[in-house]
Structure 1
Amino acid sequence: MDEAGVCLSRRNVLIASAGTAAMAAVESADAAEPAMAALPPTMGRVTLTINGKAQTVDVDTRTTLLDLLRENLQLTGTKKGCDHGQCGACTVLLDGRRVNSCLMLAVMAHETQVTTIEGLGMPGRMHPLQAAFVAKDGYQCGYCTPGQICSAVGMLDELQRGMPSHATPDLAVKPLLSADELRERMSGNLCRCGAYSNIAEAITSVAGTSAGGAR
């Protein structure tokens, strides 16, 4: 065989080998697809204290804190409204601070303390704000009420600690619950029924101040 024939043979062998390897790789990938599809979703173990009770739950890592509360733990007092962090119906207290539970992954709440509307009080032992909402008719349909109350609890604590808001005129002075402060601090909680005047009255009755005309 001449030199050209040798080169041609080697080239053919290399081409054939490459083609065989490529086909084997495709077949291997096709065979692996069903196995990958059958894998369970990624799970995470969350340990946290909810309303004073320690809980350990295995959840999909995509699960929100809201869905963990409602679907896994049946704490349905916390409501799902917009599911986009715009209405405030899902507000709970996380380590004492108010958060929109629909925007927070459950795994982010690992080793925290969560308080829901059920943890604030029940019919036989209501939180002062719960009692005030009843006394002042601070609701109509009641769907946003748990979030309104949890938010108000967090808001009054922020005020007590002297945390300013965008409406605070003097950052060097401890803010008071004026009409402007109340409107600004509760602006993340919407009421489709428009019960804002009664909500404001309920909150200010507990705070011991007057926010006349707050909306």
Structure 2
Amino acid sequence: MAAERKVSLERNTAETKISLSIDLDGTGKYQVDTGCGFLNHMLELFARHGRFDLTLKCDGDTQVDYHHTTEDIGIALGQAILEALGDKKGIRRYGSFLLPMDETLVMTALDLSGRSYLVMDVDIPTEKVGDFDTELVKEFMTALSSNSRMTLHFKMFHGENSHHIIEAMFKGLGRALGEAVSIDEKYKNEIPSTKGVL
């Protein structure tokens, strides 16, 4: 690898204080503390399946709920991914993964296009998993796609268990993003776009 694709950043607001580092060329090591056990678990799965080294600490207003924590982590992670990609020279750009988990089947597909767009064709049947509001999955994915300038699609073909559905999304996101950021040696000095820029 010619240049390190590793970024560390901090994002501090009146609602959250976030310290984050990500290495796109890691091995899947993680150290995650968001103040929410379920969100920790999802981000650990994302890092492990994408083979990203991720360190994340968030002190948020969790006495209110997990909304600000979840959204702001999505913002910070998206910003870090975008910065780590640099000029995107040589990346595969596209990634997809069809992930089965017991009764659940979810497809994730994405394009590191420089244009943010989210399609979430997913039905999460319960309002909560543990103390985590399941509507926050969309808040996270919206913030992530917007700040990484990624087109991101989720399509659920089957699913009944809310935990399984969300877990399939985060694992699929890791796998698809891992594919998209990987370097294609045949095109390592080229931008994968006829526009010449992403």
The structure that has the greater radius of gyration is 1
TM-score interval, smaller chain: under 0.3
Q: TM-score by structure 2 length?
A: 0.27
- State the structure with bigger RCO (CA 8 A, min sep 6), 1 or 2: 2
